[in-house]
Amino acid sequence: MALLEVRDLRLCFGGLKVLHDISFLVEKGVINSLIGPNGAGKTSLFNCLTGFYKPKGGSISLGGRPITGLPPHRITALGLARTFQNIRLFKEMTVLENAMSGQHCRSRHGIVSAILHLPAQRREEEAIRAAGMHWLGFVGIAQHAHRRAGGLSYGDQRRLELARALASAPELILLDEPAAGLNEREKLDLVHLIRRVRDETGVTVLLIEHDMGLVMQVSEKIVVFDHGQKIADGTPEAVRADSRVIEAYLGTED
Ligand SMILES: Nc1ncnc2c1ncn2[C@@H]1O[C@H](COP(=O)(O)OP(=O)(O)OP(=O)(O)O)[C@@H](O)[C@H]1O
């Protein structure tokens, strides 16, 4: 059974059809990329998967459970995490507090035990803090744990977003343009980090990316969109040789 199954997904904004009957599978433990020219509908698809947009038709299931139309916090709790094209951190909070905030959806104790500072709640907070530190270490920024998140370098803010998403204990992580704004050295580190996410945590990865060098290097499977339609789906070699993909990216003489 596939980890993520998207069937005949349709999305419209007024008269504008943004996604046309999209179907594809994401197998567990595979690094997948979603590519396509600007405006192809990639981020809109992420927004449907995470519950930010309500599709007009079709279905999405995660680990065999239907998630179509569920609110974002329920989908996160079911094992789907994401990072954003434009970094969205709590800039005035510390780096560690940001990483801890990723586990909010797993917290079992409510407001009453928090106010009363009950022992069980204190133990849970300690565990959340330890896990936050673990994920900061995993992405390589534990030394900045007590700094203000907004004061981190751009590359480290991207790492922090990833740490926060991993802290929610996802089965599938969606990365929206993780290489945007990174230099060549940072892009190499990102490839290494994405591989470690899959190899060391078993989390399945689906990323949107415009940097074709990075996509071809890191992906095991690629889905290609153009004008809201899926035009190809396969290994990097197969997609690179596909005439519809070449046409979508380069255009044709006629
Ligand atoms: N909330 C919205 N309201 C109206 N139109 C929208 C909305 N969100 C997306 N669109 C439209 O849907 C289409 C697909 O946009 P989307 O951002 O999903 O493309 P994309 O492939 O992610 O592009 P890029 O690579 O430039 O980020 C565009 O025409 C966009 O203007």
**Short-list 166, 174, 164, CA closest to 45:** 174
Q: Distance between CA 125 and CA 123 in Å, rounded?
A: 5
Q: Is the CB of 40 under 6 A from ligand 1?
A: yes
What SS3 state is found at 21?
strand
Q: Is the CB of 42 under 6 A from ligand 1?
A: yes
Q: Distance between CA 101 and CA 212 in Å, rounded?
A: 32
Atom 17 in ligand 1: residue holding the nearest Cα: 43
Q: Is the CB of 38 under 6 A from ligand 1?
A: yes
Q: Is the CB of 68 under 6 A from ligand 1?
A: no
> Would you state the pLDDT for residue 137?
97
pLDDT tens-digit series, residues 136-192: 999 999 999 999 999 999 999 999 999 999 999 999 999 999 999 999 999 999 999
> What are the helix (H) ranges across the chain?
42-49, 72-77, 95-101, 111-116, 119-139, 154-167, 184-196, 212-218, 236-240, 243-250
> Would you state the pLDDT for residue 254?
46
Contact 166, 103 (CB under 8 A): no
* Tally of helices (H runs) and strands (E runs) in the chain: 10, 10
pLDDT tens-digit series, residues 6-55: 999 999 998 899 999 999 999 999 999 999 999 999 999 999 999 999 99
> How much distance in Å is there from the Cα of 206 to the middle of ligand 1?
18
pLDDT tens-digit series, residues 196-221: 999 999 999 999 999 999 999 999 99
Domain with CATH 3.40.50.300 in the chain: 4-79+170-250
Q: Is the CB of 13 under 6 A from ligand 1?
A: yes
> How much distance in Å is there from the Cα of 44 to the middle of ligand 1?
6
Residue 123 has pLDDT above 80, yes or no: no
> Would you state the pLDDT for residue 102?
75
The fourth-level CATH superfamily of domain 4-79+170-250 is P-loop containing nucleotide triphosphate hydrolases (3.40.50.300)
Residue 252 has pLDDT above 60, yes or no: no
In this prediction the ipTM stands at 0.95
Residue 234, beta-bridge partner list: 222
Atom of ligand 1 lying closest to residue 53 CA = 1
> Would you state the pLDDT for residue 106?
57
Residue 120 has pLDDT above 90, yes or no: no
Residue 100 has pLDDT above 60, yes or no: yes
Winning range, highest mean pLDDT, from 52-61, 82-91, 241-250: 52-61
pTM of the shown model: 0.90
